[in-house]
Structure formats: structure tokens, C-alpha cells
């Protein structure tokens, strides 16, 4: 049975959305930079190991990339695999799983804005309305009751989402690589870099079990999630995939309440409600327009009309 593009995006969102809860539940004993490295190394080991077992090529496919695609792949590795996860783990260290999960909705805002600014992707008025609501909700959620300033966690997560948004747009431009290979290479290289960087900063792993758990969370929440996300990107484009991906953070918020017993503030509840309104607005958007892509050749489906398919050539 072939999964639909929206369902693929939602499964990717679910795997990623529970990551803050899983990390918090594991005890959080691994320092931030090392944790960022282990999460992505786990995804890299899992995905590249899968390709090796299936006797699928690795280096051969990488050699087929053009110079421009190699630079875009490097940019995706640095922005989404090295920088963003460090912001994320510092944010998770200073905030609750509920707050961090909710603020991850900003990734869809960043992805859409960058797709519009850099890649001239068409964005409908309902999408813009939904993204504004998500942004307002995030600002409200990040407010601290003590002095009405933004929390440190919210600032860290904003940084993570900006770099993940850039990563999302660069990744969809490297469509010649198989999703498992692209995500595996990104995870392995970024993970090794951040682990080395963490050790150079004096960070240490004090528990083998904690390191193993981090690798396992990375394999699911970053490896499997990223493969599904890349598949959805290629079917629907960056802005529409990010719309469905916005369901992930809400699942993380739900599990933070049920499993961790988080007690959100009044502002966090209000911000969450605004974000729900934003996602509801996004789901009402219909992708009905003509558009062009520069230097791109692919085919994809537009939803909700799953029968409407067409191809683009540069």
C-alpha cells in the first residue's frame, strides 16, 4: 500500500514531535553539544547501516551530484545538522518539554518564509495568515510571567527553527539523492562534528546508557523522521510539507502533559490555543495557482486534490 504525501508528512511530524519528551524522559544527563551530536549520529548510523545491509550504493550516488548540489548539501548539513541541533538541545535544557514542543512550530514559519524569499515559492494568503498566528502564538508562549520578557528557551528554539528552515529548503534542492542516503550522510557527518566539538569544549559522557538512549532517539526522531520528511518535500514542496509537519509539536505537547506532568503557564496555554488556530488556518489553504521553479526538474502532487499532478522543467 502506497502512503499519501500528507500521511507521510504527518508520520514524520509525529516521530520528530515526541523527541523533546523522549529526551527529557531519558534523564538529560548528556551535555547539550554532545547530545546534539549523538542524536544526529544515531540517525546517520541507522540510515547508512540500513543502506549497507540492503547493498545500496553510498559513494557512487554522492559522486553524481553537481557542484551546486554539493554546496547545497553542505549547507544543509551545517545549518540543519550542526547548528540547529545545538540550539535545540540548549533550549530543551533551559525549558520544559511542553514549551519546547510548542515553539518547534516556528520551524514551519521559517521554512515558508525562506521558501518565499530565496526560492520564490508561491505562498497563498491563508498560509500567510496561519504562519502569522503561529508566530504570535510562539511569542505569547515564550513570555515569562516574572518580567514579561522572552524565556531563554524560546530564544534558543527560535535559532534552531531558523536554521532548520534553511536546511529544509536546501534539502529539497538536492533531490537526486535517495532520502535515506541524504539523511544518513547528514546525520553521520553532523553528528561526528558535534561530538568532536563537544569534547573540545570539555563536555563528557558520564553514562553509556544515556549515550545509547540518545543514539536510539536520534535514529527514530531524526533518522526515520527526516527520510519521511524528505519524501514529503519532494511530493508537495517545502511550504505545504511544513504545514502538515506542524502537527508534530502538538503531539509532543500532549505527551509532555501525560508522561512528564508538565504544568504550562497561562501564557503557554494561550499561545498554544493561538497556534492551534494557526494550524487550522493552514489546513484550509488550497494550492490552486500556476508557478515556476528555477533550475529544477521534478514531479510532485498537489493536495488536497491528489489527482492533480504535473511536472516542471527548468
- Return averaged pLDDT per consecutive 10 residues of the chain, 314 residues in all: 85 89 85 95 91 79 86 94 96 93 90 86 83 92 77 93 93 79 91 97 91 93 83 81 80 92 91 91 56 36 30 34
Give me the pLDDT at residue 173, please. 74
Q: Is the pTM of this model over 0.75?
A: yes
Could you tell me the CA-to-CA distances from 265 to 141, 158, 271 in Å, in that order?
A: 8, 19, 10
Give me the pLDDT at residue 285, please. 58
Q: If you ran DSSP here, which 8-state letter would residue 294 be given?
A: S
Give me the pLDDT at residue 132, please. 93
Give me the pLDDT at residue 145, please. 67
Give me the pLDDT at residue 118, please. 82
Amino acid at each position: 500500500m502506497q502512503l499519501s504525501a500528507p500521511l507521510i508528512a504527518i508520520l514524520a511530524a509525529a516521530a520528530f514531535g515526541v523527541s523533546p519528551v523522549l529526551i527529557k524522559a531519558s534523564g538529560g544527563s548528556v551535555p547539550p553539544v554532545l547530545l546534539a551530536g549523538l542524536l544526529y549520529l544515531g540517525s546517520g548510523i541507522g540510515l547508512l547501516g540500513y543502506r549497507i545491509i540492503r547493498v545500496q550504493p553510498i559513494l557512487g550516488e554522492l559522486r553524481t551530484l553537481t557542484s551546486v548540489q554539493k554546496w547545497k548539501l553542505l549547507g544543509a548539513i551545517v545549518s540543519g545538522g550542526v547548528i540547529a541541533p545545538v540550539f535545540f538541545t540548549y533550549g530543551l535544557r533551559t525549558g520544559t518539554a511542553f514549551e519546547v514542543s510548542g515553539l518547534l512550530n516556528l520551524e514551519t514559519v521559517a521554512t515558508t518564509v525562506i521558501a518565499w524569499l530565496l526560492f520564490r515559492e508561491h505562498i497563498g494568503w491563508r498560509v500567510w495568515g496561519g504562519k502569522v498566528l503561529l508566530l504570535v502564538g510562539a511569542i505569547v508562549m515564550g513570555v515569562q510571567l516574572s518580567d514579561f520578557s522572552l524565556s531563554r528557551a524560546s530564544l534558543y528554539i527560535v535559532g534552531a527553527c531558523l536554521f532548520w528552515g534553511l536546511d529544509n529548503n536546501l534539502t529539497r534542492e538536492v533531490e537526486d539523492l535517495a532520502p535515506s542516503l541524504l539523511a544518513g550522510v547528514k546525520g553521520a557527518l553532523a553528528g561526528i562534528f558535534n561530538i568532536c566539538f563537544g569534547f573540545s569544549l570539555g563536555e563528557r559522557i558520564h553514562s553509556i546508557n544515556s549515550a545509547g538512549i540518545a543514539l536510539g532517539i536520534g535514529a527514530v526522531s531524526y533518522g526515520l523522521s527526516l527520510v519521511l520528511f524528505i519524501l514529503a518535500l519532494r511530493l508537495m514542496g517545502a511550504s505545504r510539507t511544513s504545514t502538515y509537519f506542524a502537527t508534530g509539536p502538538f503531539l509532543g505537547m500532549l505527551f509532555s502533559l501525560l508522561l512528564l506532568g508538565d504544568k504550562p503557564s497561562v501564557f503557554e496555554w494561550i499561545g498554544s490555543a493561538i497556534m492551534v488556530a494557526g494550524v487550522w488556518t493552514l489546513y484550509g489553504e488550497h494550492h490552486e495557482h500556476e508557478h515556476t521553479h528555477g533550475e529544477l526538474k521534478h514531479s510532485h502532487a498537489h493536495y488536497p486534490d491528489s489527482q492533480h499532478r504535473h511536472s516542471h522543467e527548468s
